[in-house]
A and B are shown apart, each in its own frame.
Chain A
Amino acid sequence: MINARILVIEDDKFLRRACEVSLGKRGFTVLTAVDGEEGIRQALSGSPDLILLDMLMPRLTGIETLEVLKREEKTRHIPVVILSNSSIEADVQRAKALGAVGYLVKASLSLRELGDRVIGFLEQAGMDPGTPQDPPR
């Protein structure tokens, strides 16, 4: 059975819901946060296996959140994938420099592809995502 825990940090409630429902249906345990501050708290307490992080958010931006996550002893090892609708090259470079393992643009992904990529990143991080369910047809 799948046992990976995914933390989705996303301020848009529709996108957050979509990720939560879709990844949940793939068998992941999904934690959600509406902004960077809540996301850091969840990362510290919920011990996720992978974090999907939005860039443009109130209070703490994705980059600022990433900086904190990579600074914190407890969260430093968690792979972070940027999931954003901003594709400013400077942000992409900055995120990679800070240790993000991937940079995905929401508008160019289907939820199914998102799930596939999440599995790919987990495997890449040396984790066994278990046997995730096939996405419903």
Chain B
Amino acid sequence: MAVPLLRALFRSDSASAGASPEPSPSPVEALCRVFCVLAVGALLFLTVSAGLCALMPGPGGRGGLVLTFGLIGLLLLAGAVYSGVRMVRQALSDSRRNSECLLEAKQRALELAALYDTSHDVSVQHELSTLLQTILERAKNLLSAAGCAIFLYDSEQNDFQIAAEVGVGMPVGSHLPMDRGPAGHVARTREPLILKDYRTWPDRSRDISKLPIKSTVLVPMMRGGELVGVLGVHELVGTSREFNEADARLLSLFADNAASAVRVARLLEAVRDSEERFRIAARCASDIVYDWDLAADSVVFFGARYDQLRAENQPVARTRQEFWDTVHPDDLQRVRRAFHSHLEAGTLFSEEYRISDGKGAYLIVSDRAMAIRNQKGKAVRLIGAVTDITERKRAEQMKTDFVSFVTHQLRTPLSGVKWMLELAMETLDNPEEMQSFVRDARISTDRLIGLVNDLLDVSRLERGSIKVARRPVDLAGLTREVVAELDPLVKDKRQRFSVLAPERLPEPRVDPQLIRQAVLNLIANAVKYTPEEGEVRVRIEAGDGGLRWEIRDTGIGIPPADMRKLFEKFYRAGNVLAVETEGTGLGLYLVRLIVERFGGRVWCESEEGVGSTFVFTLPLENGEVR
């Protein structure tokens, strides 16, 4: 009993605690126990001493015994008083330390709460630039500092980029070398760094060496052992605050959370970028791209054309059957066969077919697709690109039609020349007959030359390479000349022909040869497509800043369906083939090219079977005329 008692007496606090196998009492408790033992002992001895003294009054042989008991009692009392004082002092000191601990615990709890909030805020941000701003604000607030900066590690260039900054105006976006500056040091050592004064760092990076940074704490942003960047928090010149280890620890904890968030945001950004690139590429290459989940039988479309369909509220297929329903019945079997053959045998799927446009017509599309297969080789998804090739097909058809039409139109007069000359050769002994064959050969030749000239004019006007000699032209005079030229034809058909024009007309500055060609084509058409004894009237007048030239006939007219295409190249109205087949489909197209060349406009109004009116305008000054 005496050993722990003495130990408790002479050793302060809990130095014995480590050696004791049992949970050791606190110093106050130990002192309290000692105090109690000593006080009880003192009381006991003093009572005994007092008792002896009372029982044996007067000096006697027991006086020594009383004295001894009394002394021991007094000693014990003194010990009790001493330990009591120590106990009270210890208790007071404990209480002070407890309140300090409590205070620190409270502070840490606050910091942890801030760290938690901060890390949580950061982890829910998936957009990199927003995330960086959030990290800045949170890190700055976490240490209640003036500024903060994030230096992201660029593994490709092996340097830092100042990714975001708040407080001191660092050049965001600029790169810093790895081998300099405090940030470089942190990146190399991967340990936090606390500086009392940034300006005393020997090799500061040039870009930021002049900034008013005083004390700073920098920590690495690590994720899975990999350096993501360095996070720095700083105070400005003119303040006295210094950062401490606790600040560095707290910031490190936060920096690692931030590093994870940056990694995730970067990955997501990369995924978004790649998806965006795919979408753009798909959009550029095709009208519609589809992604078909074969197991779920659901399809997702995207692309410019799809957006357009959606904007028009057109129904879009959602399942395989809905898709098959849009395919033209004549193409369906072929497309289905190719589709299944691709899925089952892996043959290339590249088909052209017709699909309903939802408005009663069919589009021609080119569809190329490729299946994504699982590990067993079974097709699970089908990614395809659909391009609307309706226009291309139409153009190809037009080209084919053009080639065969021109071929026919050129071959006919050529055959005429060839055969007439063959006949002429056989009739050398009959000069009269021979001459008639040669004459026919010449007429065929003229026709051929006319056709070739028209083709050349069209080509030159289209390319803009024709030489244009502008000068004031008397349109009425020019028209009368053309009419005179065609007079035999008009007389032949017993048609009434009139030209109505005021005495003095302003003269547009145009190329007389080209305008003559336009006038000739329009008059010749009117005469050609107006039956015998019909009427053709030309009227020319000034107005609206230009001249208006009009020809009205009582001819076969133009079917409404053909009106729109009338001035197109090689277009011939359906009903003219009933009259003749020599036409080239170039006449009205040339008229349009010529009139538009001089800033004018040409159009026509017609009723089939009643007649047609063709009008063109020419501006009097340079410019457009209505």
Contacts and interface: CB of A to CB of B under 8 A. Distances in A.
Contact of A85 (B411, B422, B443, B578): B411
Contact of B418 (A25, A56, A87, A107): A107
Interface centre among B407, B412, B423, B443 (most CB of A within 10 A): B412
Interface in B416-457: 416, 418-420, 422-423, 426, 440, 443-444
Interface residues of A, number: 28
Contacts of B420: 14, 18
A19 B440 CA distance: 13
Nearest to B422: A111
Given A18-B419, A136-B426, A85 B412 contact: yes
A114 to B, nearest CB: 9
A118 to B, nearest CB: 14
B271 interface: no
A18 B581 contact: no
B408 A85 contact: yes
Contacts of A137: 426
Contacts of A11: 580-581
B414 interface: yes
A125 B94 CA distance: 134
Contact of A12 (B416, B426, B578): B416
A2 interface: no
Contacts of B469: none
Interface in A25-62: 25, 56-59
B311 interface: no
B419 A111 contact: yes
A25 to B, nearest CB: 7
B78 interface: no
B561 interface: no
A136 B429 CA distance: 11
Contacts, number: 69
A96 interface: no
A110 B418 contact: yes
B579 interface: yes
A108 to B, nearest CB: 9
Contact of B423 (A88, A107, A111): A111
Interface string A74-105: 00000000001111100000000000000001
A127 interface: no
Nearest to A89: B404
B405 to A, nearest CB: 9
22 contacts: A11-B580, A11-B581, A14-B416, A14-B420, A14-B444, A15-B416, A15-B419, A18-B416, A18-B420, A56-B581, A58-B577, A85-B407, A85-B411, A86-B408, A87-B404, A106-B412, A107-B418, A110-B422, A111-B419, A112-B422, A135-B426, A137-B426
